[in-house]
């Protein structure tokens, strides 16, 4: 009986794949790199954290945590377009990843995409009805859009869930349609960055 060359071909393919993966730096343990990146981020070493998260993405490009944390780092530096890309990559990996949904809503608000931000906050609320910050932020956006009834519903829910938000509610500007603007300039604000 003649032996097929298939087992030998499979062995060669495994060796070649292993060598290629090693040459590409995949000897990095992505879970360890992720933990080290988080430790660096918590210690305030953004550059070192970003390097660790990039190591994770080199091995697992769809890692939602590495993408999300790189988004947080970029957002903190004011690079919102880059942050948005990382948040969207995290959401490609897990469309219900609440931290990425929440932070993407903040980024989209700052870009003037209010309706998209409202939709994102509503997705967070659908996943976690107890998220007081999402209720608060969507309430502020709806109030600014002149949707007083829906705004009041969300703001009341936010205050019921987290009474300490009352102080922030008092510091949020009243939408231009609800106040008399004597200065000639409109007010601009961003939602709360807490989640």
CB 94 within 8 A of CB 66: no
**Least confident among 1-5, 38-42, 135-139, 143-147:** 1-5
Compute and round to an integer the Cα radius of gyration of the chain.
23
Which pTM does this prediction carry? 0.74
Q: How far is CA 115 from CA 39, 50, 63, 87, 142, in A?
A: 35, 31, 28, 18, 9
Mean per-residue pLDDT, 163-190: 52
**Of 97, 100, 76, 98, residue with least CA distance to 87:** 100
Which residue, chain included where needed, has tokens 């007081």?
A: 132
Q: Is the pLDDT of residue 181 over 50?
A: no
Mean per-residue pLDDT, 142-170: 92
CB 86 within 8 A of CB 65: no
Residue 20's pLDDT is what?
Answer: 43
CB 91 within 8 A of CB 123: no
Mean per-residue pLDDT, 65-83: 96
At 50, is the pLDDT very low, low, confident or very high (cuts 50, 70, 90)? very high
pLDDT digits (tens, 9 = 90+) for 7-23: 444 344 343 334 444 44
SS3 content of the chain, % helix, strand, coil (to 5): 70, 0, 30
Residue 172's pLDDT is what?
Answer: 63
Give the orientation angle of helix 64-76 with respect to helix 30-42, to 10 degrees: 20
Q: Is the pLDDT of residue 170 over 80?
A: no
Q: Could you count the other beta carbons within 10 Å of the beta carbon of residue 150?
A: 15
- Say which residues have a Cβ less than 8 Å from residue 124's Cβ, sequence separation at least 6: 98, 101, 102, 105, 131, 134, 195
Q: How many helices (H) and strands (E) does the chain have?
A: 10, 0
Residue 26's pLDDT is what?
Answer: 60
């Amino acid at each position: 009986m003649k032996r097929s060359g298939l087992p030998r071909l499979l062995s060669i393919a495994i060796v070649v794949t292993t060598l290629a993966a090693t040459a590409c730096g995949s000897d990095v343990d992505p879970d360890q790199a992720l933990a080290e990146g988080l430790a660096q981020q918590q210690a305030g070493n953004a550059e070192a954290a970003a390097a660790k998260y990039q190591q994770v993405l080199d091995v697992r490009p769809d890692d939602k945590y590495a993408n999300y944390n790189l988004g947080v780092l970029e957002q903190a530096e004011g690079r919102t377009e880059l942050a948005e890309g990382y948040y969207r990559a995290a959401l490609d990996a897990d469309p219900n990843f609440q931290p990425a949904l929440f932070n993407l809503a903040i980024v989209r608000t700052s870009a003037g995409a209010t309706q998209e931000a409202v939709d994102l906050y509503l997705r967070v609320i659908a996943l976690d009805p107890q998220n007081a910050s999402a209720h608060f932020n969507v309430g502020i956006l709806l109030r600014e859009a002149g949707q007083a009834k829906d705004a009041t519903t969300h703001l009341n829910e936010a205050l019921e869930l987290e009474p300490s938000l009352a102080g922030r509610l008092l510091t949020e500007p009243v939408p231009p349609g609800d106040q008399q603007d004597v200065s000639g300039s409109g007010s601009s604000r961003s939602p709360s960055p807490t989640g």
